Structure 1
Amino acid sequence: MITFNNGGKWSRLHPPTSSGCHGNSECSLHLHLHYSLLVASEYNRSYSAPLLSTETAVGIIIGHGSYGVTRNDSEPRLVVSNDGGYSWMDPGLPVGTYVYGIADYGNIIVVAPDSENVEYIWFSHNRGECFVKQLLDTTEFFSLSRGLLMDPRASSLTAFMMGVEGNETGDEWRMITLNFKRLLQRKCVPSDYQKWVEHVNKDACPLGYRDTYNITKSLSICYNEQGYKYKPILNERCDCSTEDLECDYGYNRTKDDTCERMKGYNLADDCPPGAKYFNRTKSGFRLIPGDRCLPSSVSRQLLKTEQLPCVGHEEEAGFDNAREAIRRAGVTAGRVVGGVIIALIVVAFAVVAFYCFLRCREHSPATYEKVLYQKLPMVDAAAAAGKKGTAVAQTMTSLTPPPPLPQPPHRPPRTLSRTPEL
């Protein structure tokens, strides 16, 4: 079984078309993982190479497998996938176990028999679509002791084989170097690359994102120059759907893509230690760990949560809810009363200030007389013509002159006296 969304959904492996299997319960592809490494000694198999993949060679997976109803450790075969595990290829190598490695960011795949006498190797320069057999320049006997020694980041163009070479005179250690730069001959140019999406279905978007890479075309026999960027050239995030959700603990997924609670299972049994409440979604779904999808109307509806009490705290939870309601009501009432008190204090302060102002005005020692402006009587024309001086004199005499200013007292001038010199 294989999953592409961190265990959210599982499906059978699609076996190679040449195997005659159809990927059902009667015949399917079974990969040999760590368990096969442990029990291989029963069948005199070494299985020294586990499943191999690296982020620098996107989509390539190499391993051992068998076909049938169940795993068959006695007939292992080499299988390769270059699309991230969606489909698998059988290169047609003899039944047995192998050691393998990846070079030049996936441009080269090297395979050698994991046996006592190694005479050939196989390599592929088109991401595992076909393999070429190459004879090794050895004497009568060569046994690998360390497998294939290659750059773990798959960036190099060389591979090393460390083993023991034997002949009639004796055995000796030997290191064989495989240089694939001579095979590929030239550097790759932009026209040698093609865009590769990490999922076979272009609309598929597991874990909420989809990356696009530049990989070498299968017909381009070239090598990647130093500094080749194996990182994605395009990152795309998708809207959340039911494919980005999985059933929470205690739920089973039904055929109609809903989550149904398991019978006899109490949700409150999963409370964290010491907690009184825990949150669970009403639908039973949860977001798959590591999913980076964008929130949508579907996810918002299915991921609505509710707060549930933990086991042994149900009654306390009801009391706490009532106490919380009372506390909130008390806080609201306190805010209202506080506002009213502050308003009354402000009004009282204003009244006291105004009263003090009036009292201070009435009892102030400085008084001011009001100045009255009166209109002088007008003089008629006859009086103005004949008795002009009299009228003016009367008018002037009616005005009281101001009292004279007091004169300063007379002081005699001061004379300066000198002290007689001795």
Structure 2
Amino acid sequence: MGSQTAVLTICLFLIINLTYITSTTLSGTSDVSVNGKTKIYEAEVSPSNDHHTLRKRDVGKEFHKSNITTKVNQLNDSHQQLMVHWAGEGSDVVICLAKDSNTANFAKPSAVYISYNYGDSFDNKTEFFKFSQPDGKPVFASIDKFFTHPKFISHLVFLDIVHKVIFTTTDYGKSFKYYSLSFNPVDISFHPENPSLFLIHDDKHSLWVTTDFGMTWSRNQEFVKVYFWVVEDNGEQYLVVQREEPTTSSVIAVTGLLPGQTSSLSLVIRDVVDLWVKGEFMFVTRKDPKDAQSLDLLVSHKRGEFKKAVFQSELRCQAYHIVDADSVRVMVAVSHSEYMANLYVSELISDSNDIKFSLSLERVFCYFQDKMWTDSWLRLQSNVKDEKEPRIHFDLSDKSFADVHKVEGMKGIYIASQVLDTVGINPGVEHLRSVITFDWGGEWRPIAAPHYSSDHQPIQCNAANNCSLHLSQKFAQMYPVTRAAPILSSKSAPGVILATGTLGSSLKGHVGLYMSQDAGLTWSQILQEYYLFNFGDHGGVLVAVKYFKSNGETNILKYSTDEGESWKDHAFTDEDLRIYGLMTEPGENTTIFTMFGSARSQHQWLIVKVDLKNAFTYNCTPDDYKFWSPSSGDEGVKMTCILGVKETYERRVPHSNCYNGKDYDRPIKMEVCPCDAEDFECDFGFDRAVGMAQCIRNKKTLYNPYAVPEWCQPGQFYNRTKGYLKIEGDACVGGRDRHFLPDLLPCPYDERKEFLLLAQKDRIVRFDLATLQREELPIKGLQNVIAVDFDIHNNCVYWADIINDTISRQCLGKDNTNTSEILVENDLSSVEGMALDWMSNMLYFVDGIKCRIEVIRTDIDHEGRMRYTVLGPSVLRKPRGIAVHPAAGYMYWTDWAVGDPCVSRASLDGSGVKRLFGKPDVEWPNGITIDFIAERIYFVDAHEDFIGSADLDGKHFRKIIHNKEEVTHPFAVAVFKDIMYWDDWKQNGLYSADKDHGVSIRAIDTNLPGL
């Protein structure tokens, strides 16, 4: 898999290396720190250049133009590929391996160049790689790759697969030793703490170990498919190995590899297909015993027992790609078919027997070799190298990938490529769009386009016309037509993102370089066309150079010290070069940038080092900094808090042209935020439909999230979900959390029947929701009842009769024989609606003629029952329906006012009146109700013929049903669990439908005169 040389520090595990074998059903995204030190670049080499001479390297030329120092080194090397490694961690060593990528030239000699002065000059070390073959004939090695110890960075091993030879050095290549091997080496992995111990995986799947830095070898394991070094928090180090024997495949732990220790084996899990380890998690796939074409994913957290992953989908699971694993959360892309993959995020890792994964994003672009897009160019690209196409080389042994970028330095922010609905078997950039999440995948949104182009022309691109910004990731980097550089973000510059992008409905379009300074909330176009790009000095300087693939040769390096507002050109040579790569030391905290290219006439590797420190006029002082947090004032994209915390970072003021310095330590402040929607993700059994912020129940699954738990006994309480789950690690407190947190309900003593009340003029009917059988309640003397409500606790029905202008109540005994009582009988004209506050025993009612909302106490017998007017004619014109939310302290009502209809909200005492909807949204709003599970209002409009829904603040409105025969004159509406119910005066019918999508409309009864 190429060099794996960096240390990933975690709470319990330390993943150091992995083998060259790529599993077909389980893979993962490497952390930036793992591959950040090593890059591989490829040049365009014509057949006439297909020969390599190891000539004396030219002395570098130095340029001093515009006080920017430039150093050009001519390696006089015509190999096609250059592998560049920065030692880093305070070292000035840079190592370059020149070789051919063409398998036909695999046996040809390679060349090694090492700089000990940060790229000012390079020593040709190729003579150190000359050795004698068994027949005595001297030959130069064909080094395929080299490996650096993650901690002892002066220790390196160079691998010659062709001649079965390794070269070792403990002093950055100042001296070398070489050893012949009796086996064919393929991959090397260092012990995380002992530099003398490393492993080699050979082509026969055996694992060999040396404890004297390559001098002697012993076979440790056979049948090895994949392996990982693991370090526990107590310092214990061991191997996790998947052995694929002829009859079984199992995972074992190997301990005691150090000198003086006794090696021992222990079984971890058996009957596995593939193994992957990331962070505190260990993953394995196993065949589904119920479906031969499906695979189960099992997860072990902190070396605990393996638990089955349960995905919120009925689709077949064929392969898995671990996108990220952070503390107690996992993001995984799952292949469901050859052209379909979804992204899922785990819930809290708990003590339950399984780990639930909720759907995060549908149709994420993901590639698995032999599983997805098998007939497309991707399959060919993974196995064939294009000799004519110059490109930045990516690690082709990593066959599987998901097009998801984790924004470094920020929490919970990811950018993903989503496949559009219309795509054939050969995907292109026109089939992908980009989306971004700021809450660990809880909600994804299009990326906001900039308002102006790089030449200050207005850009007309917004969601209303299906236009947004789309950013290139690995797919576009691999795509033969684009070969675009992928997204760049860094912990050293939190909030700064650079990316190649296009504006429109997909990744296809005119390309430009885009920058975000606020973690992806807002973007600006800083250059047009294809560029290679990077940044340094902790984000204080941006650099870009024309990409040879699309723009041809250049001798200009563009740089900006004011976050891309203005750019300056630096001529780094007198003649144009073909630039194949642009690199800086990992960490992006220096001002030194290195370009790799060649002259246009003939390919010879050139290394151009540019130091932009003199582009700054002075060293920064405290006055040059300000505290910044990722936020935007634009409606719809404000994200001042991320995971419940407002992190404010110290950043340099853009127009302060000062130097941060390599040792700059960025201060960070933390402030806990009040909870809001972005602090919650969809609970298991719920998902967010495209274009909707609400979590709605996934009716395709058999899981019932509202069911009373089996353990629930009378006297106990249980949590009933509202469809949301607080994001793990989110630290928000208070705010609007009540809208999303589950309701704490008492365990029922007995199973009560669920029913629906319906006023039918001179009678009140109860429909059993299980059988849909109707029953007329034994209430006498009814003339024209319009408004009804029910007190579940006391088993009492309330109603208003507009003929005798009274409000009455009747409590039903076991035999339904109790008599009724009048609660209000004077100063009423036309009671259109009523709503019971069951928490305070207050009954609210609407008088449409007197234009009043009034309230009485139902738990006292005093004359008048403390009746008073909550709202009067100064606010109301022609009020109709009413609903109350006792826990939230709100009441909602509809008003038919001629020319000024509305749906409004106020506190239960009448204060804080807020109009939620008016014209043209509503015309004749009638009944209104509250879905207490989803925390939304539902209302009907008899003129516009729809049933609509919004959250409790009137936001995220959508029409559930409209322009249907069943809603030609809707009057009342009710919601229970997943179903909404309404009656229609024109149809004389009672109907039901799915409350989220309006589908599955059902006529319960169409013979109901007198509604």
C-alpha distance after superposition, 1:200-245 (max 9, x if no partner): 248832310011111111221110134211241x101123333311
Q: What displacement does 1:305 show?
A: 6.4
Letter in 2 for 1:283: K
Per the alignment, residue 87 of structure 1 pairs with 522
Distance 1:185 1:56, change over 3 A: same
Greater Cα shift, 237-246 or 292-301: 292-301
Aligned equivalents of 1:301, 1:144: Cα separation in 2: 53
Secondary structure of 1:64's counterpart equals strand
- Superposed, 1:140-289 pairs within 5 Å as 141-145=576-580, 147-166=581-600, 171-201=603-633, 204-232=640-668, 234-252=669-687, 259-267=695-703, 281-289=720-728
Give the secondary-structure state (helix, strand or coil) at the position aligned to 1:18.
Answer: coil
The superposition leaves residues 96-145 of structure 1 with CA deviations (integer Å, 9 ceiling, x where unpaired) of x2211110001101101110412212111011222222223133x41223
SS at match of 1:35: helix
SS at match of 2:526: coil
**Residues 26-56 of structure 1 deviation map (CA, whole Å, 9 limit, x = unaligned):** 32211122221222x1x2x322x21000011
2:686 partner letter: Y
Q: 2:555 aligns with which of 114, 119, 129?
A: 119
Q: Which is greater in Rg?
A: 1
Which residue pairs with 1:367 in the alignment? none
Structure 1 residue runs without a partner (length 5+): 270-274, 309-422
CA distance in 1, matches of 2:448, 2:493: 21
How far residue 257 of structure 1 moved from its aligned partner, in angstroms, is 6.8
CA contact (8 A) 1:277 1:307 kept: no
Give the AA of the match of 1:152: P
State which of 714, 719, 730 in structure 2 corresponds to 1:291: 730
The letter of the residue matching 1:76 is V
When residues 157 and 249 of structure 1 are mapped into structure 2, their CA distance, relative to the original with a 3 A threshold, is: same
Contact 2:672–2:731 (8 Å) recurs in 1: yes
Measured at CA, do residues 203 and 188 of structure 1 come closer, stay the same or move farther in structure 2, by a change above 3 Å? same
How many aligned positions are there?
293
Instruction: Report the Cα distance in structure 1 between the residues aligned to 2:447 and 2:437, rounded to whole angstroms.
Output: 9
Distance change in 2, residues 1:132/1:8 (3 Å): same
Structure 1 residues 302 and 159, CA, compared in 2 at 3 Å: closer, same or farther?
A: same
* 1:13-412 alignment runs, 5 A limit: 13-19=447-453, 20-24=459-463, 25-39=465-479, 41=480, 43=481, 45-47=482-484, 49-72=485-508, 75-93=510-528, 95=529, 97-115=530-548, 116-139=552-575, 141-145=576-580, 147-166=581-600, 171-201=603-633, 204-232=640-668, 234-252=669-687, 259-267=695-703, 281-294=720-733, 298-299=737-738, 302-304=741-743
Q: Deviation per CA, 1:159-214, whole angstroms, max 9, x where unpaired?
A: 011221355xx553322111111111321111111221222248832310011111
CA distance in 2, matches of 1:297, 1:120: 53
Q: For 1:176, what is the secondary structure of its paired residue?
A: strand
Tell me, in whole angstroms, the C-alpha distance in 1 between the residues paired with 2:545 and 2:558.
6
Q: Is the 8 A contact 2:590 2:662 kept in 1?
A: no
* Aligned-partner residue type, residue 516 of structure 2: S
User: Aligned partners of 1:112, 1:276: CA distance in 2, in Å?
Assistant: 64
d(CA) in 1 for partners of 2:700 and 2:553?
A: 60
SS of the residue 1:2 aligns to? strand
Secondary structure, in 3 states, of the residue corresponding to 2:604? strand
Amino acid at match of 1:285: Y
Give the letter aligned to residue 78 of structure 1.
Answer: L
Q: State, as a whole percentage, how many aligned pairs show the same letter.
A: 26
Post-superposition offset of 1:151? 1.8
- Measured after TM superposition, the shift of residue 89 of structure 1 is 0.9
1:5 to 2:442 alignment: no
Please say which of residues 246-255 and 110-119 is displaced more in the overlay.
246-255
Offset at residue 10 of structure 1 (A): 2.3
SS in 2 for 1:182: helix
Decide whether aligned partners of structure 1 residues 306 and 138 sit closer, same or farther in structure 2, where only a CA change above 3 A counts: farther
Contact 2:572–2:610 (8 Å) recurs in 1: no
Alignment CA distance shift 1:108-1:283 (3 Å):
same
SS across alignment from 1:99: strand
Task: State the distance in 2 between where 1:62 and 1:203 align.
Answer: 19
C-alpha separation between the residues in 1 aligned to 2:477 and 2:746? 47
Aligned-pair Cα RMSD in Å: 3.2
| DSSP-derived class of the 1:17 partner | coil
| Equivalent residues of 2:674, 2:736 under 8 A apart | no
Structure 2: which amino acid aligns with 1:172? Q
The residue type equivalent to 1:153 in the other structure is G
Tell me the TM-score normalized by structure 2.
Answer: 0.27
What displacement does 1:71 show? Answer: 2.1
> 2:582·2:596 contact (CA, 8 Å) conserved in 1?
yes
Q: Which has the higher contact order (CA 8 A, sep 6+)?
A: 1
Once residues 306 and 52 of structure 1 are traced to their aligned partners in structure 2, the CA distance between those partners, rounded to angstroms, is: 48
